[in-house]
Protein backbone atom coordinates (compact mmCIF):
# COMPACT_ATOMS: atom_id res chain seq x y z
CA UNK A 1 0.00 0.00 0.00
CA UNK A 2 1.26 3.43 -0.81
CA UNK A 3 0.89 6.55 1.30
CA UNK A 4 -2.32 7.68 -0.42
CA UNK A 5 -4.04 4.30 0.12
CA UNK A 6 -2.93 4.20 3.75
CA UNK A 7 -4.28 7.71 4.33
CA UNK A 8 -7.63 6.77 2.75
CA UNK A 9 -7.76 3.57 4.80
CA UNK A 10 -7.08 5.53 8.00
CA UNK A 11 -9.83 8.00 7.12
CA UNK A 12 -12.27 5.17 6.48
CA UNK A 13 -11.34 3.53 9.77
CA UNK A 14 -11.84 6.81 11.67
CA UNK A 15 -15.29 7.14 10.14
CA UNK A 16 -16.20 3.57 11.04
CA UNK A 17 -14.90 4.02 14.59
CA UNK A 18 -16.88 7.24 15.01
CA UNK A 19 -20.06 5.47 13.86
CA UNK A 20 -19.32 2.53 16.12
CA UNK A 21 -18.66 4.85 19.05
CA UNK A 22 -22.00 6.62 18.61
CA UNK A 23 -23.74 3.23 18.35
CA UNK A 24 -22.11 2.11 21.59
CA UNK A 25 -23.15 5.34 23.31
CA UNK A 26 -26.75 4.79 22.19
CA UNK A 27 -26.67 1.19 23.44
CA UNK A 28 -25.28 2.34 26.80
CA UNK A 29 -28.08 4.92 27.19
CA UNK A 30 -30.69 2.28 26.36
CA UNK A 31 -29.20 -0.21 28.83
CA UNK A 32 -29.20 2.45 31.56
CA UNK A 33 -32.90 3.13 30.89
CA UNK A 34 -33.64 -0.59 31.07
CA UNK A 35 -31.78 -0.84 34.40
CA UNK A 36 -33.96 1.91 35.86
CA UNK A 37 -37.13 0.19 34.61
CA UNK A 38 -36.03 -3.16 36.04
CA UNK A 39 -35.38 -1.55 39.45
CA UNK A 40 -38.90 -0.09 39.41
CA UNK A 41 -40.39 -3.45 38.47
CA UNK A 42 -38.40 -5.22 41.19
CA UNK A 43 -39.82 -2.83 43.78
CA UNK A 44 -43.37 -3.55 42.62
CA UNK A 45 -42.73 -7.29 42.55
CA UNK A 46 -41.29 -7.17 46.08
CA UNK A 47 -44.42 -5.38 47.33
CA UNK A 48 -46.68 -7.91 45.62
CA UNK A 49 -44.73 -10.85 47.02
CA UNK A 50 -45.06 -9.37 50.50
CA UNK A 51 -48.83 -9.01 50.09
CA UNK A 52 -49.12 -12.59 48.82
CA UNK A 53 -47.14 -13.86 51.82
CA UNK A 54 -49.49 -12.06 54.19
CA UNK A 55 -52.52 -13.55 52.46
CA UNK A 56 -50.99 -17.03 52.63
CA UNK A 57 -50.27 -16.60 56.34
CA UNK A 58 -53.84 -15.52 57.06
CA UNK A 59 -55.14 -18.41 54.95
CA UNK A 60 -53.02 -20.89 56.90
CA UNK A 61 -54.31 -19.63 60.23
CA UNK A 62 -57.91 -19.71 59.02
CA UNK A 63 -57.53 -23.25 57.66
CA UNK A 64 -56.10 -24.41 61.01
CA UNK A 65 -59.00 -22.81 62.87
CA UNK A 66 -61.55 -24.27 60.47
CA UNK A 67 -59.92 -27.72 60.66
CA UNK A 68 -59.85 -27.56 64.46
CA UNK A 69 -63.51 -26.56 64.54
CA UNK A 70 -64.50 -29.44 62.24
CA UNK A 71 -62.44 -31.86 64.39
CA UNK A 72 -64.14 -30.52 67.53
CA UNK A 73 -67.57 -31.04 65.89
CA UNK A 74 -66.78 -34.64 64.99
CA UNK A 75 -65.37 -35.30 68.46
CA UNK A 76 -68.46 -33.85 70.17
CA UNK A 77 -70.83 -35.88 67.97
CA UNK A 78 -69.45 -39.24 69.18
Q: What pTM was computed for the model?
A: 0.57
User: With DSSP H G I counted as helix, E B as strand and the rest as coil, what are the percentages for the chain, rounded to 5?
Assistant: 95, 0, 5
d(CA 14, CA 8): 10
Q: Which has more confidence, 48 or 4?
A: 48
**Residues contacting 77, CB < 8 A, separation 6+:** none
pLDDT tens profile 23-51: 888 999 999 999 999 999 999 999 999 99
Amino acid sequence: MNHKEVTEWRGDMRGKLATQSSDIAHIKETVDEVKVLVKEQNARIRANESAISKIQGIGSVLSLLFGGFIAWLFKSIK
